[in-house]
Every structure is written in structure tokens, then in C-alpha cells.
Amino acid sequence: MVDSLAIALGANLGDPRATLEAVRPLLAAELERWWPGPGRPRLRWSPLFRTEPVGGPAGQPDYLNAVVLADPLPPVDPDQALALLAALQGLEADFGRQRLEHWGARSLDLDLLWCGGLSLDRPELSLPHPRLRERAFVLVPLAALDPALIVPGDGVVPLASVRELLEGLPPEVLEPPPERLGGVAGWPE
């Protein structure tokens, strides 16, 4: 059973590093407010990675990406997951996110990757994230936290470790590989 939740963070407009450093404490506070269980979540933040844009319009600037894991997560129902999604979208809006173009450049992107073992397929939210297993810009930060971390399946796709998923990616998905950035005061990892 997966007893964590994972959120991917990304930005490629304005000053992405400043944006991710600024949203980090706000996201931590939002997760603590939302947390459905007793106590407080344990948050584990990946390092920042510079990655080339995947899909979308040509000519976008590179992204900065990271992930945060929160655990131990008690069972979560769909309404709780949708409430978390709304909170994430509220943070995106606070940082100027506009949804003008599919896979277009973003001032801030917060994607709920999984929420415990919850499997959900709704227009507004699919869990686990449907492209999680094919995105090096998500898998590499997860691997920096724990390459043996188990990524949930959806009932059709089996559970797999981050390491297994990275090893299964076609080589072109990893070229050029995400570049790990050094830590700074606002993002020490």
C-alpha cells in the first residue's frame, strides 16, 4: 500500500528558482492544513533540476522541477483529493498561472502525482497522474529522494520502483538528462 502523496513542482516563466523557493513554505503550510490524519506530515523535498520542456509549443525556456513527498498518509477519499487539487490550483493562481495553451510555459505548475493508493479518473483529476511513468523531469527528482520508492499503479499498470521506471524509459526521453542544481538558502537540498 502506498501511504504517501507526491506533488511535482515546475516553473519556466519569470524567475523559476525564486518562484519555487517562494511557494515552498506556502505549499508546506497548505499540506499541513489539508492533512487528513493525526499529527503533521513528514515532507521530503527533492533537489531542484533544470529540464528541457516536454511537448507543448517550441521555444519555451527550460523548466526548474522538483517533487515533494508527504507521509504517512492515511486513506484519502476522492473529495479530499479534489480539495487538495483546488488548494494547489489556488497557489498556482497566486503565482500568476494562466491556462492559455496546452503544455505551454508556466509561472508555476503543481501536479498531484498520487494521493495514497487512491485511483481516480475524473475530468478534473486522474490519479495516479497518467503521464507520471514517462516523465524524466518527475522520475529523476523522485529518484534523488529514493530510487527504491514505489510508484503506485492504477489497477492496470503494476506498482514499480522509480529506478525500474527510469530504466524502462526510452533513451531519447533522458537526453539531455535533467541537470541537478546546487542548493541555496530557500532550497537547501
Active site residues: 97, 106, 109, 111
Residue 85, amino acid: L
Q: Is 119 exposed, middle or buried (0-12, 13-18, 19+ CB in 10 A)?
A: middle
- 3-class state of residue 48 by DSSP: coil
Nearest to 27 by CA among 62, 64, 67: 67
The amino acid that residue 3 corresponds to is D
Quote helix, strand, coil % in the chain, to nearest 5: 30, 20, 45
Q: Are 46 and 143 in contact (CB under 8 A)?
A: no
